Amino acid sequence: MRNSLSSKTTRKSILAALLIIPSAVFANDVAIPGAGTLPDEIQLDEQMTQILEKKQLRSKADEKISSHVLDMLDNTANRTSSQQQMNIQDGAILLDVHANISLRMLRKILRLGGQIINSSERFSEMRIRLPMHAVQRLARDKAVHNIRPAEQGMTQMINTSAGREAHRVDSIINEFGVDGSGVTIGVLSDSVRFLQQSQQSGDLPANVTVLPGQSGVAANDSGEGTAMLEIVHDLVPGANLVFATAFGGQASMAENIIALRNAGADIIVDDVFFFAEPAFQDGMIAQAVNQVVDDGALYFSSAGNSGNLNDGTSGTWEGDYNSIARFGADVHDFGDNQGVVILTQASQSPITLRWNDPLGASSNDYDLFVIQNGVVIDSSTNIQNGNDDPFEIVGPQPAGAQLIVVRRGNAANRVIHLSTNRGRLNIATDSQITGHAAALRGIAVAAVNAARANGGVFIGGSSNPVETFSSDGPRRVFYDENGNPLSQDLTAAGGVVRQVPQIAAADGVATSVPSFNPFFGTSAAAPHAAAIAGALLSARPDASGDQILDSLFATALDIEAPGFDRDSGNGVIDAAAALNILCQDEGCNFNNGSTTPIDEDNAFRNDQDIAIPDGIQGGIQGTIDVTRSGDIGTVTVSFDIVHTARGNLRITVFTPTGARAVLANTSNNRRDNLSRTITLNGGSLPVQGVWRLQVEDLITANTGFLDTWSLTFE
């Protein structure tokens, strides 16, 4: 699911136990006639009992198959919204299969008349298209663990990006020459449809790399990946760009994350979410995120567009299961002793239920029912008997529909997470963010409308709040990626809390891609954050990922609640302030011109103008590459600086070995400009190599540039 919003009419959602969707704008709540009316208890008792009795009769093989697929195989079953959206062509259904992947298994799929779309031995997952009549035959294979409808990704969507000015990226490009040069940024989304048009218009460079076979261009893709690439290029035009689709399923996306890192990506960003990604444990995509970050990359993901509690847009309920007896079953009390929760705004995407058991090892059986006008209109009744995922899913549902969570048999109380994925509930909580957006090593990005900068820069505070659709945290995790418990307390007070989102960035910006002008959603915010991180890494290539993030977090402008908050994290990014912090100690590599020899051996000069950043330690460093050999002996350093307050400046020269001499220091002198010629004795230090002249403006409110400097050796 992509976390983007566009002016385009909301797309029809595609079923799946594993959907990815773009984050769409919320419509206004509407009054639902009879929404507060409780369903008839006796009638519901009969319907739910019939469904659950049928569940108990499933064979061992059928227990592996999603209840929606089983109902589809049952010609007598009424087709719910879930089944209506399954991808079925010519009697063959698109499936995601969790299994031990081997040559034998792949050959079996072909013998059954199936087609292998992709497979991952690493994540024990494959996507196949299989004739309906062969599904139960495949399930009888001992190497198969579960079969479910193929999940489609959801993006989080809503010409030069307005975020460039709002985040003060213009400042670091124009003043310091920081443009992402030397950095590679990888993007994952639906597709690069319209890539050629963007290149022809000059919105993207000609050298965008698309991993082989991973363009994602298909019948119904939007080209949102191209819009994301445009944002990155707007902010860091010197960066290398690499793309891979995320729409091949969870395992395919995870493999592509690793492939982007192997292709040289220093920073990776995505805007995709799958509905079946876990809430309480890092799944396969989150594990891939953790792997590439441990390998040295930075990873940014859209926080999601499913709303937040503060703005009254939450469609989530998370907390301890609270048992009451209703409708002939053990059902969850959402807080009003009624046993149902009501959709006050329709869900255009599937509705999911998760609980805090480990992946592939749940023995606590929960089910999800949807009621409208006293009738069960959808249900998810997968079996959890010790080797299953703690997950149920139903299709999109109308406003006024009532949701019931049922606990079966001797199932233990667990923390449950019910998400309507852009719907709204009459009783709701925080903690919407799930899946790899909450990965241990990743960064989740919230959205702030660029228009809130009023054509200028973000200033923080109440004037720059997050978008009302931006998803909130925190995320409570109970297991490591191997299913080992992180705490013995499995209640809503236990586990480990991950503070997400960590940062906020701009959305509502222009791109040249159809339906993405303007481009709203956390799908637009995430590439802003990734690009700014790329600018910082370009300025200081030796910086660690933690140093880049620390500079972003420490200088973010506080918005929403004071300090770190569950809606914007540390706040909205200030690129110039982050660059200042990052360059304080070690200095940065800005665009520092070239070396011009004055004569063949004794004198060298650099006369390219270099803007001096105002009030930033580390400043700029002009370089001269000295080609003569031998010792330094005596060297004369000359420089000319144009500046409105010479007393603000500190000038330091560095030899190729790092020896330094301060040529001028700050003072009370407020006169303009500074020109000096100073003779130094370098003795037997080697002369050959790159010399640096560092110019720092340590007091704010004055500007200038290094005009020229030279070295002359005796």
64-100: pLDDT as tens digits: 999 989 988 886 555 565 666 688 888 899 999 999 9
| Residue 144, phi then psi, degrees to nearest 5 | -90, 130
Rounded Cα distance, 383 and 27, in Å: 35
Lowest mean pLDDT of 11-15, 114-118, 320-324, 435-439, name the range. Answer: 11-15
Rounded Cα distance, 131 and 112, in Å: 8
Mean predicted confidence (pLDDT) in 358-380? 95
C-alpha distance from residue 308 to each of 12, 88, 302 (Å): 23, 35, 14
Residue 198 pLDDT: 95
For the whole prediction, is pTM greater than 0.85? no
- Three-state DSSP class for 621? strand
Question: In the beta sheet, which residues pair with residue 336?
Answer: none
> What is the pairing mode between strands 88-89 and 475-477?
unpaired
The tens digit of pLDDT for each residue in 567-603 reads: 999 999 999 899 988 887 666 666 544 444 445 568 9
With a CB cutoff of 8 Å and minimum separation 6, the contacts of 25 are 5, 158, 305, 469, 520
Residue 27 pLDDT: 30
Burial class (CB in 10 A: 0-12, 13-18, 19+), 539: buried
The tens digit of pLDDT for each residue in 215-257 reads: 999 877 889 999 999 999 999 999 999 999 999 999 999 999 9
Residue 684 pLDDT: 87
* Residue type, position 135, single letter: V
Cβ–Cβ under 8 Å, residues 416 and 321: yes
> What is the pairing mode between strands 240-245 and 184-189?
parallel
The tens digit of pLDDT for each residue in 269-294 reads: 999 999 999 999 999 999 999 999 99
Rounded Cα distance, 290 and 585, in Å: 29
Rounded to 5 degrees, what angle do the CA atoms 157, 160, 164 make?
85
Rounded Cα distance, 172 and 174, in Å: 6
In this model, does residue 15 exceed pLDDT 80? no
In this model, does residue 19 exceed pLDDT 90? no
Rounded to 5 degrees, what angle do the CA atoms 357, 361, 366 make?
55
Rounded Cα distance, 174 and 333, in Å: 58
Residue 40 pLDDT: 67
In this model, does residue 704 exceed pLDDT 80? yes
Higher pLDDT, 155 or 640: 640
C-alpha distance from residue 62 to each of 54, 55, 79, 113, 231 (Å): 12, 10, 18, 20, 47
Cβ–Cβ under 8 Å, residues 162 and 510: yes
Q: Is 455 left (phi over 0), alpha (psi -120 to 50) or beta?
A: left
In this model, does residue 488 exceed pLDDT 80? yes
Mean pLDDT of the chain: 88
The tens digit of pLDDT for each residue in 80-89 reads: 656 666 888 8
Q: What's the DSSP call for residue 251? A: H
Helix (H) or strand (E) holding 537, with range, is: helix 522-539
Rounded to 5 degrees, what angle do the CA atoms 46, 50, 55 make?
150
**Nearest alpha-carbon partner for 274 in 253, 288, 292:** 253
* Residue type, position 327, single letter: F
Residue 589 pLDDT: 60
**Nearest alpha-carbon partner for 404 in 367, 435, 362:** 367
| Residue 530, phi then psi, degrees to nearest 5 | -65, -40
Exposed e or buried b per residue across 337-361, where buried means at least 16 C-beta atoms within 10 angstroms of its C-beta: ebbbbbbbbbbbbbbbbbbbbbbee
Residue 122 pLDDT: 92
Question: In the beta sheet, which residues pair with residue 244?
Answer: 188
Cβ–Cβ under 8 Å, residues 348 and 24: yes
With a CB cutoff of 8 Å and minimum separation 6, the contacts of 297 are 261, 265, 266, 267, 268, 545
